[in-house]
Structure formats: structure tokens, C-alpha cells
Amino acid sequence: MDIQRASTPDEADRFAFEAGRTVIEQAKGMLMLVYGIGEQQAFELLRSCSQHINVRVRELAQRILTELPTAGGQAAKAPLRVDLNRILSGRSPQPDQ
């Protein structure tokens, strides 16, 4: 669905909901990969952390997608886990030294 084609408030709301859900699903996938957990556990972790740092689940998920560097493979999991732990705890990225 194209945002420009969302002509009614219901369509715009549905588009926003779907976009938010997509962000959450992608963040859950990252949690599942990095921590080796299941889908339900990933959502519970995301929800719990969002409550702990007082941000919406969607906003925390967006931070994960924005701030977590994209990398693949087993060797990348440890650095990703450090960054993911930082994001989930609500800390900002450290400036480059």
C-alpha cells in the first residue's frame, strides 16, 4: 500500500500500523539471531526493555534497526550483542574515539 494512495483516515491508520508492525518484526528477528531465542521470547524482551527505559516498543524497535550495524555470520554476533545490549538498556551510542 502506498502512503500517497491512503485516501481515508482508516487507510492511513492501517498503513501506519503495518509499518510499525514491520519494524517490530524486523527487530524481533535481530533479537532472535543475536540472542538465539524464539519469536515470543524476542517480543517479550523487546516489550520488557521498552517498559524499563520508558519508550514505545515501536520506537525501541526502530532504534535497533537504525543503530545496530548490519553484519552477518557467527563472528559478528559478539559485537552485535554489545550494541544490542546498549540499545535495549536505553544508552546512546558512544562517540567515535
> Does 54 fall in a domain?
yes
* pLDDT over 70, % of the chain: 70
Calculate the alpha carbon distances from 52 to 29, 41, 88 in Å: 21, 16, 9
Please give the Cα distance from 39 to 59 (Å, whole number).
19
C-beta neighbour count of 88 within 10 angstroms: 20
> Does 46 fall in a domain?
yes
> Does 63 fall in a domain?
yes
> Does 21 fall in a domain?
yes
> Does 93 fall in a domain?
no
All residues at 6 or more sequence positions from 95 whose CB lies less than 8 Å from its CB, including other chains: none
Rounded average pLDDT per 10-residue block, the chain, 97 residues: 59 67 92 92 96 95 82 57 85 69
Give residue 17's identity as a one-letter amino acid code: F
> Does 96 fall in a domain?
no
> Does 94 fall in a domain?
no
Please give the Cα distance from 65 to 87 (Å, whole number).
10
Domain range enclosing 28: 3-88
Q: Are 60 and 88 a contacting pair, CB within 8 Å?
A: yes
pTM exceeding the 0.75 threshold for the entire prediction? no
The number of domains in the chain is 1
